[in-house]
Amino acid sequence: MLPMDASLPVPLSIALVASWLLYTYFKPKSRYHPGPTGLPIIGSLLEINNERPWITYGEWATQYGDIVMYWVMGKPVILLGKVEHAHNLIQKRMMNYGDRPELVVAQELVTQNGWYVGTARTKHDTHRKQRRILGERLRASTLRDWAHPVEIPELHLFLQRLTQHPERFINAQPRQSSHLSHQRGYGSPIHLTSTEAILGGLFTILEASPNIATQHGLKETGTPMARGDGYALPRAITEAEGATISAAMVDTGTDTLTGTTVVFMIIFMCLPHTLKKAQAIVDGAVGRDRLPNFDDLGRIPYITAMIREAFRWRTVAPVAIPHAVVADDVYDGYFIPKGATVFALSQHIYEDEELYPDHEEFKPERFLDDHGQLNTLPHAGFGFGSRKCLGQHFAEQTLFILISSFVWAFDITAPVDGKGQKIPPSLDPMDWGAFIASPPPMDFQAVITPRSQAAVDVINRAVEGDK
């Protein structure tokens, strides 16, 4: 019998592991889309800007092409840098690209078996039911029945507060967004003090409490949930599901509405000609004897074009919420493996000079045809496919009434320093937040003044008429 060397197993194990790593790294690969090579095991993890990953993704899309593939810890990631690719894959092949990546904490622990609709995987039974419920509630035709009647009084109060305390815009605006989103989810108004308005960022967390849901009529009955006021969520759902759905609506609505409205304030200060044009258009359509209402939606397409251009010019989601590939796929001759995470690069898409010439400029006219009506130019702010944001109609309609009313009622200018020089907020994207629902600068100052005493009187009469 040959003598056994007790030290042999250790170096042999090291050699086997090293051989496996080298083989894995250098082995012939399928024809993947081009992208950074990365390092063994960790892949391109260290190359990504952790605070602003969309900066890295945009650079890669410029360097490697419209579709980029990279690896992180053995997991493939696909980046889509053109709207046509996002449409062809996430939209046209939605059955294969409609899943979410595996997020154990978000999907299994925090939200208990995937109850949060934004992160739920298709394997979760609640996902399709929640999408159905939200889809029914957020259809454009349904909004006229429940959303518009409760949004208008809140809007009038918001405008009145600005006439009295314009310096509190940053505090008042999240309160307005939270109220509207709360109405959307729970069907009942809330009333916050000025101190609570400052804590608006905590509001969405509190909304997730099942106890709050129960207080507002969302309770487990075994039958379709009823409140008696016409605003209840439909279908039979449990207390926990009702709280989760409503929290999702409040959460996403507050972030999007607040961020985009602040973007508009920055636009009006830095680009005053845009505000003047919007005021002239709204005045021409509405007159000066009343505030805009939802019936004006089709009569002022320029405001909707401004909203779409604001989403494009400074999007609140530079990188869309990720999708996951259900089964192996081939696109344009390249292999896309099952389980790959797929990001649509919203900001990079919005910088496509073929679709959006002079993309660095704020030009609402790009979304209008020769007759001044909305055209079909794509906008990626609400995602693609079966996981597309269901709140698109709510967001666009709410922003329409908010922005049209604001330009009807107010002027906004940048403050001045001791030498009389204007102090505008920064337009540099690097000074802004990053990734999903990236916030614009919230510490800027603005000078907001009513356009006339007659405008203030119209607002006060509107508030009185709502009582």
Question: If you write DSSP's letter for every residue of 43-73 in order, what string do you get?
Answer: BTGGGS-SS-HHHHHHHHHHHH-SEEEEEET
Binding-site residues: 389
pLDDT (0 to 100) of residue 355? 94
Q: Do the Cβ atoms of 112 and 118 come closer than 8 Å?
A: no
**Residue 201, phi then psi, degrees to nearest 5:** -65, -25
Query: CA-CA distances (angstroms) from residue 15 to 39, 43, 211, 343?
Result: 19, 22, 58, 38
| Ramachandran area for residue 180 (φ above 0: left; ψ -120 to 50: alpha; else beta) | alpha
* Whole-number Å distance between alpha carbons of 414 and 448: 9
CATH number of 128-466: 1.10.630.10
Q: For the packed helices 169-186 and 239-270, what is the interaxial angle rounded to 10 degrees?
A: 150
pTM: 0.77
pLDDT (0 to 100) of residue 385? 73
Domain boundaries, the chain: 128-466
Query: CA-CA distances (angstroms) from residue 226 to 158, 223, 246, 435?
Result: 29, 8, 15, 38
pLDDT (0 to 100) of residue 195? 24
DSSP state letter for 14: H
> pLDDT by residue for the chain (467 residues), tens digit each?
444 444 446 666 677 766 666 655 555 456 899 999 999 989 999 999 887 888 899 999 999 999 999 999 989 999 999 999 999 999 899 889 888 887 644 444 445 555 555 555 565 556 667 777 777 777 777 788 777 888 898 889 989 988 988 776 655 554 444 444 444 444 444 333 322 222 232 232 233 333 323 333 333 333 333 333 444 444 456 666 666 666 666 666 666 777 788 888 889 998 999 999 999 999 999 999 999 999 999 899 999 999 999 989 988 788 888 889 999 999 999 999 999 999 999 989 999 999 999 999 999 999 999 999 999 998 877 878 777 777 788 888 989 999 999 999 999 998 888 888 888 777 776 655 544 444 555 566 788 999 999 999 999 999 999 88
Binding-site residues for heme: 389
* Whole-number Å distance between alpha carbons of 292 and 47: 49
| Secondary element (H or E) of residue 447 | strand 447-450
pLDDT (0 to 100) of residue 248? 65
**Residue 325, phi then psi, degrees to nearest 5:** -85, 130
3-state secondary structure of 207: helix
